Amino acid sequence: MPPLSLPPHVAFVEAVDDVPLSTLFPEEARVVARAVEPRRREFATVRSCARIAMGRLGFAPVPLLPGLRGAPGWPDGLVGAMTHCRGYRAAAVGRATEVLGIGLDAERNEPLPHTEFLRHIALPEEQEQLTLLASEHPGVCWDRLLFSAKESVYKTWFPLARVFLDFLECRVTLRPDGTFSAHPLVPGPMVDGVRLSGFTGSWTLRDGLLLTAIALTPPVRR
């Protein structure tokens, strides 16, 4: 598979080993004070990834606290996304002048737990697409990839729209070449004077891990 495709001005940092809990700011430590230790470690490590990425863009380390619906709060002038799954954490960050939104998600390359779950995330036409893709490229858990792509869509959508987007309110087309497109079925927000009507993203499979990403760039003015 080709590597995950992100613009060069987006800083991307990943980790497979957790950092010490002492790397958390006191405000962050309070957020997860009652959580089990694995949750605290993933919380700390994904924020460490984010702060390293911020540093590459010239931003000082600051607390990154969950906001509305758990979305991370970024310093003024930055947009970004975080993700974690079993054995993996990552963050992607960009300057708000160069990228309008970022979505990032990681999942193990494993089937979704049951078919009933699929009905809650996939439209009928998407389910047909998954059947075809699975028959032609059986090494990819396409149902899990669809879930990941929609997670990346939501992480891009929510900071811009500030309203929830259900899994079934977005139609995603997955392609074997490592790309995907997504089209919300509800009106999108106005972004830089243009109504947001869709996303394009990339995906990759490596070391048993599915990764999806979106970097929404400003519209070209003519």
In 3D space, the residue among 70, 138, 133, 135 whose CA is nearest the CA of residue 109 turns out to be 138
Q: Is the pLDDT of residue 221 over 60?
A: no
CA 43 – CA 39 distance, rounded (Å) = 6
DSSP state at residue 76: T
CB within 8 A of 35, min separation 6: which ones?
Answer: 43
Give the pLDDT band (50/70/90) at residue 136.
very high
Phi, psi values for residue 140, rounded to 5°: -105, 135
CA 83 – CA 178 distance, rounded (Å) = 19
Domain at 110-216: CATH code: 3.90.470
Q: Is the pLDDT of residue 170 over 70?
A: yes
Confidence at residue 3, expressed as pLDDT on a 0 to 100 scale: 72
In 3D space, the residue among 201, 196, 152 whose CA is nearest the CA of residue 179 turns out to be 201
CA 212 – CA 144 distance, rounded (Å) = 11
DSSP state at residue 66: B
DSSP state at residue 7: -
Q: Is the pLDDT of residue 222 over 50?
A: no
Looking at CATH, the fold of the domain delimited by 11-104 is given as: Ribosomal Protein L22; Chain A (3.90.470)
Alpha helices in the chain (DSSP H): 26-31, 37-56, 115-121, 124-136, 142-161
Instruction: Compute the C-alpha angle 106/167/179, nearest 5°.
Output: 50
Residue ranges per structural domain of the chain:
11-104, 110-216
Of the ranges 15-24, 150-159, 189-198, which one carries the lowest mean pLDDT score? 189-198
Question: What is the arithmetic mean of pLDDT over 202-213?
Answer: 97
Give the pLDDT band (50/70/90) at residue 75.
very high
CA 166 – CA 211 distance, rounded (Å) = 20
Of the ranges 64-73, 139-148, 175-184, which one carries the lowest mean pLDDT score? 64-73
Whole-prediction pTM: 0.95
